[in-house]
Structure 1
């Protein structure tokens, strides 16, 4: 840090499994990636190339290499996995991961109907080759999954070999964990936490108010995902109690 302030919450250091922040890259240029890494590299734990943007991204190999050179792993969004699976091209997906030398993969079923046993089988197969993040929740705002089902699916996916499970919210933060207004489904989150260890969950929380809510619930080192590049430094100040939304919250803990 650039100067000393007393009573600042302690952040975990990279590589970390708690206090984890996942970036959502929706199509940054190579120059933007270079700037993002230079400015925020200390705070970026992993980068998701959102949904299937990698299919149309120019200079994809070069982009991945910039992140990799900075020690930041990259993975393709779960929607791309679903696009391969629905077309019966899972083997092609495995070859794609190998071609780009990716060490992480996301398994999801937010856009397709996939029997949960089959989803867990994909996780089991992939986890033998790469580190798997599995996403739970639907991208359909009209589909409300009861808390017990979230818990059941999360536990089974962890048992199948997922490193962490991701709570679905999309890039807008208006489905899954959240109401269409962006409000957190508080009861859902609290019930999930009665059964699933918090360090095993990445909460997609693209909106500032959502990030504040999770930080106040679970502390500085909560795992958060779908964070826009421009929001990384603002989020880090929220984690450290250096923005109005969490300023008093952390001061009162010292």
Structure 2
């Protein structure tokens, strides 16, 4: 949706986007809030994550998922829910839950549990026969620092196993994994990952505006970004297009 003409803006991919994806996070919106959000932002949200295991305690879950589906926005349950089923040896139950709620996406992660990586890749392979798989790399434990070479291997192995995209972990606060506790980007890690993993295949969790700006300046308007708060979806789109002060001159200079 564009309300008037502005020349020399960066070109955005269009839905269904192969990249340039915005993954937003629903941490407990009501059905009415979802309907309101979809009325304004459905064109800018490519996939909506129901954060961690919030779907377990969400009233009117089917009505909520239907509101997203009607707006053309696919949903998935957060990776922590997958982990909650796995640690209880309930993988088949998890697959039945995906079917019950007509899910077309699923997230495979191991941020809260210890999971053999070959086994994780096997879960990706199995689930990719059923749904589109997003796999998350990185730990939710701020003390656990994964070296760059391991990030690269994990990401490439999981893409090879059948993941559509790999997600760089940051939690909803943006203060672990790809980021220091202050929220500052681990720039060396990001740059090293990009030498071996195509940027189109990575969704960078970037809930903070400064993090979004960093990745857009580094990789352009069509970088994949995740864990975006619902009320930040339209602001993010303006950052992507150079229509907010943070990236205004960056794109203006490129388009001259």
Aligned to 1:253: 254
Give how far 1:30 is off: 0.5
CA RMSD in angstroms comes to 0.5
Aligned to 2:94: 93
Aligned to 2:177: 176
Structure 2 residue 10 is matched with structure 1 residue 9: yes
Aligned to 1:216: 217
Give how far 1:6 is off: 1.3
Aligned to 1:203: 204
Separation in structure 1 between the aligned mates of residue 120 and residue 60 of structure 2, nearest angstrom: 31
Aligned to 1:116: 117
Give how far 1:5 is off: 1.0
3-state SS of paired residue (1:225):
strand
Deviations 1:67-86 (A, max 9, x none): 00111100000000000000
Deviations 1:92-117 (A, max 9, x none): 00000000010100000000000101
Give how far 1:252 is off: 0.2
Deviations 1:171-208 (A, max 9, x none): 00000000000000000000000000000000000000
Give how far 1:8 is off: 1.0
Structure 2 residue 187 is matched with structure 1 residue 193: no
Separation in structure 2 between the aligned mates of residue 195 and residue 60 of structure 1, nearest angstrom: 39
3-state SS of paired residue (1:106):
strand
Separation in structure 2 between the aligned mates of residue 53 and residue 74 of structure 1, nearest angstrom: 13
Separation in structure 1 between the aligned mates of residue 137 and residue 20 of structure 2, nearest angstrom: 20
Separation in structure 1 between the aligned mates of residue 43 and residue 161 of structure 2, nearest angstrom: 31
3-state SS of paired residue (1:111):
coil
Aligned to 1:139: 140
Aligned to 2:40: 39
Give how far 1:7 is off: 1.2
Structure 2 residue 63 is matched with structure 1 residue 62: yes
Give how far 1:129 is off: 0.8
Structure 1 residue runs of 4 or more that deviate by more than 6 Å after TM superposition:
none
* TM-score, length of structure 1 as denominator length: 0.99
Deviations 1:197-254 (A, max 9, x none): 0000000000000000000000000000000000011100000100000000000011
Separation in structure 2 between the aligned mates of residue 74 and residue 215 of structure 1, nearest angstrom: 24
Query: How many residues are paired up?
Result: 254
Separation in structure 2 between the aligned mates of residue 221 and residue 160 of structure 1, nearest angstrom: 25
